[in-house]
Amino acid sequence: MELTLVSYNIHSGIGTDGHFDLNRVGDVLREINADVIALQEVGDYRGVTSREDQPEHLADLLGLHMAFGPNVVRNGRRYGNAILSRLPILKSKNYDLSVPRREPRGALRCDLDLGNGRQLHVFCLHLGLSMSERRRQEALLLSSDILRDAVRNDPVVVCGDFNYWGPGAVPGLVRQAIHDVALELGSRVRTYHSRLPMLRLDRIYVDAGVKPLALQAHRTPLSAVASDHLPLVMRFEASLEARPPSRHRWSSSVSLRTSGPSDGRR
């Protein structure tokens, strides 16, 4: 099955012109017309923007199913990652990747219905700014509760804002099971800053059940101003054939906290 996925840090709907305009973000997403949309920095807990429910607004605007993983809830405002999808969302779960005394971070997982009993597991995450913080969060990603059960039979996509400037974003053990699409296709796409993209902060990783076909930054006059990141777009084929369980062993000495499962909704 051929699909399009976009990973996009929307900066709470605040553009490079300093103006809040969530409809502008929606217009960028309409330009892309992706089947699966993974968003970071959704919502606003600082009180800078309006109080509207950003993930709900974007889902209604685009007519898509939606799951939201809030990492910060403050004064009635929520902030975190969201996944919007044309495919039905069978289940979603938000994993806490927070490190003490740092901004709360998380990874949102959605199990999407490909039909015929097959699923596509999509992880949308936003890692921390410091190297030590990201290393601890990588250890959490190694947790059996996050990745191991997902890589057994169905295709997996791990995407988001990794906040890495250098060449590597996941440890070697993870790279045995999921692969950097940019390296696989020989296209190290830069998405930050949107007006003059110099850094490859946004990345997409896949396992053997996903065949990447193309990867590009969506660079238009609108996307250059809608957020400080450009959308990262992947066209791919998701395998509908059952696979044997993964041979890779996953382990972590770091405890994991989750916010519990939830049903997919619009």
The pLDDT tens digits for 44-60 are 766 667 667 899 999 99
Give the start-to-end residue ranges of the domains of the chain: 2-241
Residue of 101, 70, 99, 84 whose CA lies nearest to 39: 84
Q: Give CA–CA dist 126/121, Å, rounded.
A: 17
Cross-strand bridge partners of residue 75: none
Residue of 149, 154, 147, 266 whose CA lies nearest to 210: 154
Say whether 231 sits in a helix, a strand or coil.
coil
Q: Give CA–CA dist 127/227, Å, rounded.
A: 18
Structure tokens at 150: 């997902």
How would CATH label the architecture of 2-241? 4-Layer Sandwich (3.60)
The pLDDT tens digits for 101-120 are 777 888 999 999 999 999 99
Report CA dihedral (40, 65, 215, 131) to the nearest 10 degrees: 20
**Global pTM?**
0.87
82 phi, psi to nearest 5 deg: -140, 150
Residue of 200, 208, 203 whose CA lies nearest to 239: 208
The pLDDT tens digits for 55-81 are 999 999 999 999 999 998 877 788 999
